[in-house]
Amino acid sequence: MLYFHCSNYRKLLYLGMRVQNKEKLDTFKRKHPTIAGAINRWVNIVEAADWKIPTDVKKTFGVNVDFVGKQVVFDVGGNKARIISKIIYGTLQIVNVTHVLDHAEYDKKKWKE
């Protein structure tokens, strides 16, 4: 994640995706400390990314990401957790975390509601 000040426009330019609702990740990490490292790696990868389209996400995560309707489902920690998000591409570059679930919770599919 890089920040640059652009004096011509008098605003701060942000390069990289911004993860919103990190408190959901933190809550999950407290409940499941064995997966905390994998979630931290996911955050670092996402914040360093510059995704313009869904194909860019797929290039970064390969088989560990699925697109379900308007949501993006990341498989984190070798099938131990799912981070479900909505991504805003373009100039905003936001990854809005909507759910963080273990495998059993994910299989109940309540996150689709």
Render the burial of 13-50: b for 16+ CB within 10 Å, e for the rest: eeeebebeeeebbeebbeebeebbebbeebbeebeebe
What are the residue ranges spanned by the domains of the chain?
17-112
Domain at 17-112: CATH code = 3.30.2310
Tens-level pLDDT at each residue, the chain (113 residues)? 444 444 444 445 556 899 999 999 999 999 999 999 999 999 999 999 999 999 999 999 999 999 999 999 999 999 899 999 999 998 889 999 999 999 888 888 777 76
Tokens of 36: 């905390």
Pinpoint the alpha helices (H) of 1-113.
Answer: 22-31, 36-48, 54-61, 103-107
The whole-model pTM stands at 0.84
Q: What is the pLDDT of residue 5?
A: 44
